[in-house]
Amino acid sequence: MKVLRRNGQVIEGSFEEKEIREAFWHTSAHVLAQAVKRLYPETKCAIGPAIENGFYYDFEFGFAFTEEHLQEVEAEMRKIVKESLSLQVSEVSREEAILWMEKAEEPYKLELIRGLQEKEKIYFYRQGSYTEFCAGPHISNTCQIRAFKLLSVAGAYWRGDENNKMLTRIYGISFPKAAQLEQHLKQLEEARLRDHRKLGRELGLFSIMDEGPGLPFFLPKGLVLKNLLIDYWREIHRREGYLEISTPIMLNRRLWETSGHWDHYREIMYSLKVDDEDFAIKPMNCPGGLLVYQMEPHSYRELPLRIGELGLVHRNEKSGTLHGLMRARCFTQDDAHIFMMENQVMDEIKNVAKLIDEVYQKFGFDYFIELSTRPENSIGSDEDWELATAALKHAVEEMGIPYVINEGDGAFYGPKLDFHLRDSVGRTWQCGTIQLDFQLPLRFGAEYIGADGEKHRPIMIHRVVFGSIERFIGILIEHYAGKFPVWLSPVQVKVLPVSDKYLDYAAHVAAELKQRGIRVEVDERDEKLGYKIREARLDKVPYMLIVGEKEAADELVSVRQRDAADGNQEMGRMRLEEFAARIKNVI
């Protein structure tokens, strides 16, 4: 597949390559815009980028555009693809570009062009009679877009600013082959069935209410799940020598100015006045961790010093980006900050990478790593950034772990390794991260006394494993489709008495299991057994114990399992002690 860059260079590659795939989806967005302009000439075009999975385009329609219109637009897109239009790129002057867009009556494009710096080059891509102001790149011909689907319609503020006009955003996906589209649509349907918001409600795990958009309420079963993850986190971190702390949920403005967050993160921080002084609710835990480090002098003998925190943070995310537990305004970061000497950096990066690998393997995830490099709004010297980036690169290379470069997506204070896990339906989620930081120890004046008796500056690692415990729960819900492994299930066993006559025996069974540390419920409702079994299945409980006359008389339980490799859910009758031993072994 050929791709045309804005400098006129043509490169070749496969759809699996990131640049080729993005060019393919970007061109698909242009085909969408061309189809819309053919059908509705008065429509104003805004932007149409490639995104992680597909593309979208924002339009200002003169009428109420709905999903009913998508079929008509798709039909026009098919015509454009069949026309086999070659793409051509040309550089134009600023004056030409402005005149072009004024004549075309495209106010959004005009605003974008006028917002460019004087020296920035301006490019236009043309396919047939349609010309678009765009930096590219694009595939060389529309005929390569052999399979596509417009997926949905949504509202989107121009430039993401709620003070601007609401536009209509059309989402789509496209592929070179029909089979790829078919597979993707199946995956989307599977993802819809696994939607953590739907399952979270049905399984009684969490709720997000109108009184608190983006602020999750955890229900009893959901809190069991959350606490299990926290208990596991604490267990492995104690083993690895981490000390756990807890820092305040809000701190004064001076702290955030020192850390640099006030300048670089201000737009998503919640602030308030306390005693006529500016405070901010913490969007992250690291400045508090630095204050703890500075409470007493440190020796090189104490390093590496590993400090962990399960800190509740708040971020002022835009309402349009909120998505259940995946994108919330408050969440628990499983943070840790490691203070170390330069000769300890490589080992600590490796140790964290091994810990993340251990956790992801436990949940059945594979993953890939991105090395995110220096962003535009960074702080610190070129030398520090080069050293930090090289250290991360060398650590993963020495471990033999493959990685890809993600240019310009590092934190403002340092480069990072981002761990993208892959779930059971092939989607990827960025969770764990290792950030190497020379800057915050410098800004806070952090020190330790070296073997030479002199003061030295420690180097700092910021790292998370889950990322956000809430988000990780959302990922787990969708990964397992609500069928959590036995150790993680909020309810591991449900006891189903055949009738009210056996409630006492059911209660006895439950009490015995609880005493053995097994999470159990009794379905005490006056319903038929078949109904209770269906309900337990819907609740995705791993084991059902049916108790009736024979079970009560012989002190047995009749066991059904949710998951069976051979498809046989009936495990038969057994003594309670035998069942308890089996489930404890599974856990």
Token pair for residue 177? 């082959």
Is 420 a residue of the active site?
no
Task: Mark residue 244 as left, alpha or beta (left: phi above 0; alpha: psi -120 to 50; beta: remaining).
Answer: beta
Give the other-Cβ count within 10 Å of 19's Cβ.
12
- Report the DSSP beta bridge partners of residue 416: 372, 435
Is 394 a residue of the active site?
no
Burial class (CB in 10 A: 0-12, 13-18, 19+), 539: buried
Is 197 a residue of the active site?
no
Report whether 280 contacts 253 (CB < 8 A).
yes
Q: What is the DSSP string of 427-478?
A: -EEEEEEEEEESHHHHHHT--EE-TTSSEEPPEEEEEESSSSHHHHHHHHHH
Q: Which of 34, 333, 435, 492 is catalytic?
A: 333
Is 226 a residue of the active site?
no
Is 34 a residue of the active site?
no
Task: Report the distance separating Cα 132 and Cα 47, nearest Å.
Answer: 10
Token pair for residue 460? 């700092």
Is 416 a residue of the active site?
yes
Q: Which of 45, 134, 286, 330 is catalytic?
A: 286
Task: Report the distance separating Cα 166 and Cα 427, nearest Å.
Answer: 30
Reported residue count of the chain is: 587
Residues 6+ apart with CB under 8 A from 571: 559, 560, 561
Question: Where are the extended beta strands (E) located within 176-329?
Answer: 206-207, 217-218, 243-244, 250-252, 271-274, 277-281, 305-314
Token pair for residue 513? 């299991």
Q: Which of 462, 463, 519, 560 is catalytic?
A: 462
Q: Which of 37, 196, 315, 471 is catalytic?
A: 315
Report whether 310 contacts 249 (CB < 8 A).
no
Q: Which of 237, 416, 420, 519 is catalytic?
A: 416
Q: Which of 58, 334, 335, 423 is catalytic?
A: 335
Is 58 a residue of the active site?
no
Q: Which of 337, 463, 532, 540 is catalytic?
A: 337
The number of CA neighbours under 13 Å toward the Cβ of 199 is 23
DSSP state of 43: P
The number of CA neighbours under 13 Å toward the Cβ of 86 is 3
Question: Which residues participate in catalysis according to the annotation?
Answer: 286, 315, 333, 335, 337, 416, 462
